[in-house]
Structure 1
Amino acid sequence: MTSRTMRRRLHHGDVDGKKREHLVAADLDDLNEPLLGNNDEYRAKQLEVQRLEDILYDEKRKESLHWTFLFSHIISEWAQWLAKLILGSGSFIARILMSPSTPGNFLPPPLTPLQEARLGTLQKRLEVPFDGSCLEHQDALRELWRSAYPNRELPGLKSELWKEMGWQGNDPSTDFRGGGFISLQNLIFFAHTYPEAFQNLLNKKDGSRAEWEYPFAVAGINISFMLVQMLDIQSGLPTSLSGMRFLQFLSNDESAFDELFCVAFKLLDVHWLARRASYMEFNEVMKSTRVQLERELAIEDVTCVKDLPAYNLLR
């Protein structure tokens, strides 16, 4: 493996001059915690900085939501009057305009049979946790390795070699947590569908990289988890604008979630490079990635993943 590929990975580096074997993965149920970090003193300082930044962020967000709510309420009152006058209360457009005025929440339209079937299939995928004792899941891990390193010997399911792909330890099954089996399927889909972009991200070929890079595989799990939250598709019908637009995507492509994962991963790396981020800033990069995705999903003439401006990054 070239020296470029063997860039100082997190599992065999040091922070503040102290050597250690690997860093502990963050709890995927709380993306506000740093993804990585194990030095107590250093991490405590970083967490204090993060806490202060989060407080400032929350205050700004509350102020923004206050004005958004007032504006939304005025628009909602006007829209209800206009919808009743022109469209009638039974039409689809009237239902959207007369939805509750809580910012970010909308009345979801009725699903087509195709949308309902594909959403149900996706939700069933989300319910499957990764099981290291399951033969299907073991085979999927092996398939990911073959796709990532086609010219290298396949390691055992527990091997130090897995760290080179960006797993935290020698057993990838311990890193899935909230990501579930679908996050591994997302990575395999990425490797098969966009092999060049996948290899560029895996081997950190683009741009001027940080001294301490984010771990590729664990970042992928975080992205899957973030998308599930953003699209509000864990159970029932999504009520967020992003989730409702995603339902339109499902009408056009049953692989819409996997496709969106690929776009999100590439977009995250672009934000990482633009910010010149280090691994302690991973969650800030994740937040900015989510914000851009939500903006692009709100574009009026976007009807599928390939219409998203960020999709061009995969080419």
Structure 2
Amino acid sequence: MSSSSNLRRRLHHGDVDGRKRELYDTSDFGSLGEPLLGNDREYGDRHREQYSLEELLDDPGRKVQLHWSFIFSQLLAQWAQWLANIVLGSRSLFGRFTNPALPSQTRLHVPALTSLQEERLRQLQSRLKVPFDGSRIEHQDALKQLWRLAFPNRALPPLKSELWKEMGWQGTDPSTDFRGGGFISLENLIYYAEKYPESFQCLLLKQDGQRAEWEYPFAVAGINISFMLAQMLDLQSGKPTSRAAVRFLDLLADDEMAFDNLYCVAFQMMDAQWLAKGASYMEFNDVLKSTRAQLERELELEDISSIKDLPAYNMLRR
């Protein structure tokens, strides 16, 4: 294994400057409590300039690795939103002329939940409240299952081993990282590995695109994505405050695993954002924020009746 590969897989926040990082305010969300990384504005020339998609496309001289499927999903989402604005007249010139008194933001309409939606939402909220407990046999078994899915041809290491860092845990004991994500984040990783094994392996081993010298740790990044989705969808309160959160409840009615499937899309989208921005370790926070924004835009598109209808879903490979 090359030294750069070791660096990519073993790097954790203590390796940079010994200071812990934060992504979001976590004080209000149960067992999901301590996300991974943040910004370091003192990081000098490793903090890269951020470019918009339009700038990347207009300037062929920029040496940034782009996923064409990611570009397509961004363009499709932007085009659909532009078309919806024209048709609805909410933010277009046409709307201003024909409806001058129309408010810039319409009031969020939250329809009454069906009994099925309420039950599935309760089940999901119950999952979110379960902390990871390294002393519970079923939690230990789940962690072992994740190792076997990630490295099927390698022997299972002890629950405390340097080998766990190769999966992107921050130390020798993965259970210490779950204080920020709860048991559901482990369930999400296992679901990703089982449902979309090819995509899972590509991201785990950083096989796609031109990778940064200082990469994000895979497993802990997955914990952050679980946390981000729970916040974005207002699952801690069950009272949606965005159109994306309302749309998710619609999707939950048709798919009891909607959260886990959305997690897989979000992880793939995050990695595509990472490559498109030419990001490095200290920019993980920015990448996760832009991933959230893009995911919200796609959830708000018309004619989205399942996770598979999301443009970014096409990036997943089985």
Say whether the fold is shared (TM-score over 0.5): yes
Distance, in Å, in 1 between the alignment partners of 2:2 and 2:106 is 47
Change (3 A) 1:24 1:243: same
Aligned equivalents of 1:251 and 1:179: distance in 2? 25
The whole-number CA distance in structure 2 between the counterparts of 1:104 and 1:210 is: 42
Distance, in Å, in 1 between the alignment partners of 2:203 and 2:118 is 34
Which residue does the alignment assign to 2:70?
Answer: none
Partners in 2 of 1:223 and 1:257 — Cα distance?
Answer: 11
CA RMSD, 1 decimal: 3.4
Does residue 206 of structure 1 match 2:221?
A: no
Which residue in the other structure is 2:169 paired with? Answer: 167
Q: Is the 8 A contact 2:199 2:316 kept in 1?
A: yes
Q: CA deviation at 1:144?
A: 0.4
Matched residue of 1:8: which SS?
helix
Tell me how far 1:240 sits from its aligned partner.
1.6
In structure 2, what is the equivalent of residue 8 of structure 1? 7
Q: Is the 8 A contact 2:24 2:35 kept in 1?
A: no
Q: 2:24 and 2:276 mapped to 1: Cα distance?
A: 27
Q: Residue in 1 aligned with 2:135?
A: 133
Shift of 1:262: 0.3
Deviations 1:4-31 (A, max 9, x none): 9935236369x9xxx9599666346548
Tell me the residue number matched to 1:259: 261
Which residue matches 2:30?
none
Q: Does 1:122 align with 2:124?
A: yes
2:42 pairs with one of 22, 42, 45: 45
Map 1:34-183 onto structure 2 (within 5 A): 35-36=36-37, 43=40, 45-46=42-43, 106-183=108-185
- Distance in 1 (CA, whole Å) between partners of 2:228 and 2:174 is 20
CA contact (8 A) 1:24 1:36 kept: no
Which secondary structure does the structure 1 equivalent of 2:135 belong to?
coil
Q: How does 1:212-291 map to 2 (within 5 A)?
A: 212-291=214-293
CA deviation vs aligned residue, 1:146-190 (integer Å, no higher than 9, x gap) = 000011010111110000000000011111223111000000000
Unaligned runs of 5+ in 1: 54-70, 83-100
- Residue 181 to residue 34, structure 1, CA distance change in 2 (3 Å): closer
Distance 1:5 1:197, change over 3 A: farther
Name the amino acid aligned to 2:240: P
Structure 1 SS opposite 2:5 = coil
Residues 99-151 of structure 1 show CA distances to partners (whole Å, capped at 9, x for unaligned) of xx895962421111111111110010011111111111111100000000011
2:21 aligned with 1:26, yes or no? yes
Larger Rg: 1
Distance 1:276 1:170 in 2: 29
What's the CA shift for 1:241?
A: 0.9
Secondary structure (helix, strand or coil) at the match of 1:235 reads coil
- Matched AA of 1:301: D
Unaligned stretches of 5+ residues in structure 2 = 27-33, 51-89
Amino acid at match of 2:8: R
Structure-2 change in CA distance of 1:308 and 1:136 (3 Å): same
CA distance in 2, matches of 1:244, 1:277: 31
Q: How many Å separate the matches in 2 of 1:271 and 1:147?
A: 25
Q: Which sits farther off after the overlay, 101-110 or 217-226?
A: 101-110
Equivalent position amino acid for 1:26 in 2 = R
More deviation, 263-272/173-182? 173-182
Letter in 1 for 2:249: L
In the aligned structure 2, how far is the partner of 1:287 from the partner of 1:170? 28
Greater RCO, CA 8 A, separation 6+: 2
